[in-house]
Amino acid sequence: MKSPQHLFPDNFWWGSATSATQAEGAANEGGKGQNIWDFWHSQEPQKFHNQIGPREASAFYHNYKDDIALMKSLGHNSFRTSISWSRLIPEGTGDVNPEAVVFYRDMIDELKKNDIEPIINLFHFDLPMALVEKGGWESRETVKAYADYAEKCFELFGDQVNYWFTQNEPIVPVEAGYMNVYHWPCVVDFRRAAQVAYHFVLANACAIKRYRDLNLPGKIGIILNLSPTYPRSDSPEDVQAAHLADLFNTRSFLDPVTKGKYPEELVALLKEHDQLPVFEYADLDIIKANTIDVLGFNYYQPRRIKAKENFHPEEAPFTPGKFYDYYAMPGRKMNEHRGWEIYEKGVYDTLIDLRDNYDNIEVYISENGMGVEGEMTFADDSGVIQDDYRIEFIQDHLEWIHKAATEGCNVRGYHLWTFIDCWSWLNSYKNRYGLVSLDLETQSRTIKKSGHWFRSVAMNNGF
Ligand code: BGP
C-alpha cells in the first residue's frame, strides 16, 4: 500500500471528544444530582434551541457499549469524555453515588477492552447546583470541593486512567457566565469574572497537587481553547490592541498553568484598574509548583483585533473590551451556522507559539470541528449524510498540524468534536458536529461520509 503523503508521528491519537452533560442523557437517572444546566433548563426552557435540555442528550449513559463499538469501527485509538461531578457527588461535596462509580468504571473498562485510550476530564462547564447555592466558582469553598472531587476521581479510577484533564475551556464559564448571559448564573461583572477565572487556575493547581500526592503513574493537564490573536494591521495601535487581547484571553490561563505564574503585565493592568481578584499569597506557591504535564488545545477560530474604535466611556464598568475591538477580516471564510471564522493556519501558528514560547510542551488537539445546521438535507437516499464540507474542514486543519509536527512541534493527537451529534449549551441540537448522525426520535446512529473517511485516516495514521 502507498504510504500516506501526510504521515503523522507514531502513536498519534486519533479520536473524538465529548462531555458528560452533552452525551450521557439520563440527567435525572442513576442517582445524579442537578447541575447548572439541568437547573437552568427546568427554569427557562425557552432559552434552549427547540427547548431541548440535557436530559435528552445522546444517551451515552445507556448506550455506551454500542457507542464504543462504533467508535472502534471508526478507527478511534483514544476518546475523551468527562466525569459528571453531579453524577458522582450529587451534592457537590460529601457522599459518592455508587451507581455513578459502577457506570464510569464500566465505561472506562469498555474503552480499554477496545484498545481505546480513555482521556478523562473532570470539569466541563457543569457545576453541581448545590455549590452554586454556596457562591459557585466565586467562592473558595468551590475550589476546595473541586479538589476533593478530583482526588476522589483519582482514587476511584486512577488505576484505569493514564491521562487526566482538570478542566475544559475554563475561560468559557468566565466569559459566558460572568461577562455575558450564556451560562448560568448570567452575571455581567468583570471583577466577579476575574475572581472565577482565578479560582479555576487555583483549582487546576490544587487538583494537580492532589494527583501527584497519590503517586499515580499517569499524566495530568488542562484543556484550553486557544485562538491565535492577529492584529488588523502592523500599525503600533493595532499591534498593541492585539497584544492586550492576547494577554486577557489566552495568557491569563496559559501562562499560570504552564509557567506557574501570571504575566506581570496582566497583574499590573488589573491592579491599576482595581480589578485584581482576592487571593492568598500561599496560593501563588501552589500555582507555581503544580503546572501541567500535557496541554489539550481546542481550536475553532482565530481572534482578530483592531485598536479601539468604539467609544468606551471612562465611567463605564471595567471590561477588557476597553482596550481593543474585535475585527472581521474582509473576505474571511466563515462557518455561518456557528458564526465562527474558519482559518486553518491558526492551529499551526498556535502550535509554533507553544513550541517557541512554552517549552514545546506536549500538546494534542483536543477539539476541532464544524457544527452545521440542517444536515439532513445532505443525506443520500440511504440516509447517509454526505458531509464533504466536514472532510475538507478536517483535512485542511490536519495539513497544518502535520506541518507543525514536521517542524518539531510536540503535537501528539487529533480529536474531532464530536463522535455522535451531541447536545450543546443553549444551541441544543441546532448544529450537528458528529462523525455519526443521531436521529433524536429513535436514537438511531448512522455513520456519516466523514466517519468513513476519518476511519481510513486513523487506520493509515495519515492521508
Ligand atoms: C467547545 C466546547 C464543547 C462544544 C464545542 C462546540 O467550546 O468545549 O463543549 O460545545 O465548543 O461549540 P458549540 O456546541 O457551542 O457549538
pLDDT category, 1, cuts 50, 70, 90?
low
256 in any annotated domain? yes
Q: Which of 427, 248, 409 is nearest to 338 (CA)?
A: 427
Going from the Cα of 80 to the center of ligand 1, the distance in angstroms, rounded, reads 14
What percent of the chain clears pLDDT 70, i.e. is strictly above it? 100
Distance CA 23, CA 283 (A): 35
Q: Which grid cell is 358?
A: 512554552
Q: Is 429 in the pocket of ligand 1 (CB under 6 A)?
A: no
60 in any annotated domain? yes
**What integer pLDDT is reported at residue 146 of this predicted model?**
99
| Contact assessment for residue 166 and residue 103, using Cβ atoms and an 8 Å cutoff | no
pLDDT category, 312, cuts 50, 70, 90?
confident
Q: Is 371 in the pocket of ligand 1 (CB under 6 A)?
A: yes
Q: Is 431 in the pocket of ligand 1 (CB under 6 A)?
A: yes
2 in any annotated domain? no
pLDDT category, 2, cuts 50, 70, 90?
low
Give the pLDDT mean for 34-38: 98
* H or E segment and range at residue 38: helix 36-43
347 in any annotated domain? yes
| Contact assessment for residue 371 and residue 340, using Cβ atoms and an 8 Å cutoff | no
Q: Which of 169, 175, 344, 375 is catalytic?
A: 169
User: Within 10 A of 324 (CB to CB), how many other CB atoms are there?
Assistant: 26
pLDDT category, 313, cuts 50, 70, 90?
confident
In this model, does residue 56 exceed pLDDT 80? no
Q: CATH number of the domain at 83, please.
A: 3.20.20.80
Q: Which grid cell is 40?
A: 437552568
Domain count across the chain: 1
195 in any annotated domain? yes
Q: Is 291 in the pocket of ligand 1 (CB under 6 A)?
A: no
* H or E segment and range at residue 175: helix 171-178
Concerning whether 280 is annotated as a catalytic residue, the answer is: no
Going from the Cα of 168 to the center of ligand 1, the distance in angstroms, rounded, reads 10
79 in any annotated domain? yes
Range of 183's domain?
13-460
Give the pLDDT mean for 143-153: 98
* pLDDT tens-digit series, residues 230-262: 999 999 999 999 999 999 999 999 999 999 999
What percent of the chain clears pLDDT 90, i.e. is strictly above it? 97
Q: Is 427 in the pocket of ligand 1 (CB under 6 A)?
A: yes
* pLDDT tens-digit series, residues 261-285: 999 999 999 999 999 999 999 999 9
Q: Is 425 in the pocket of ligand 1 (CB under 6 A)?
A: yes
**What integer pLDDT is reported at residue 344 of this predicted model?**
98
Q: Name residues whose C-beta falls within 8 Å of residue 67's C-beta, 6 or more positions apart in sequence.
A: 60, 419, 420, 445
- Ligand 1: residue whose CA is nearest its atom 10: 424
Would the CA dihedral through 156, 158, 161, 167 be positive or negative?
positive
5 in any annotated domain? no
pLDDT category, 311, cuts 50, 70, 90?
confident
Would the CA dihedral through 352, 220, 118, 137 be positive or negative?
negative
Give the pLDDT mean for 201-222: 98
In this model, does residue 396 exceed pLDDT 60? yes
Going from the Cα of 18 to the center of ligand 1, the distance in angstroms, rounded, reads 9
Going from the Cα of 432 to the center of ligand 1, the distance in angstroms, rounded, reads 11
Helices (H), 306-412: 345-357, 388-406
* H or E segment and range at residue 42: helix 36-43
* pLDDT tens-digit series, residues 57-93: 889 999 999 999 999 999 999 999 999 999 999 999 9
Q: Which of 110, 138, 344, 367 is catalytic?
A: 367
Q: Is 417 in the pocket of ligand 1 (CB under 6 A)?
A: yes
pLDDT category, 314, cuts 50, 70, 90?
confident
Concerning whether 169 is annotated as a catalytic residue, the answer is: yes
65 in any annotated domain? yes
**What integer pLDDT is reported at residue 381 of this predicted model?**
97
Going from the Cα of 72 to the center of ligand 1, the distance in angstroms, rounded, reads 23
Q: Which of 417, 419, 423, 432 to mutate to test the pocket of ligand 1 (most atoms within 8 A of CB)?
A: 417
In this model, does residue 55 exceed pLDDT 90? no
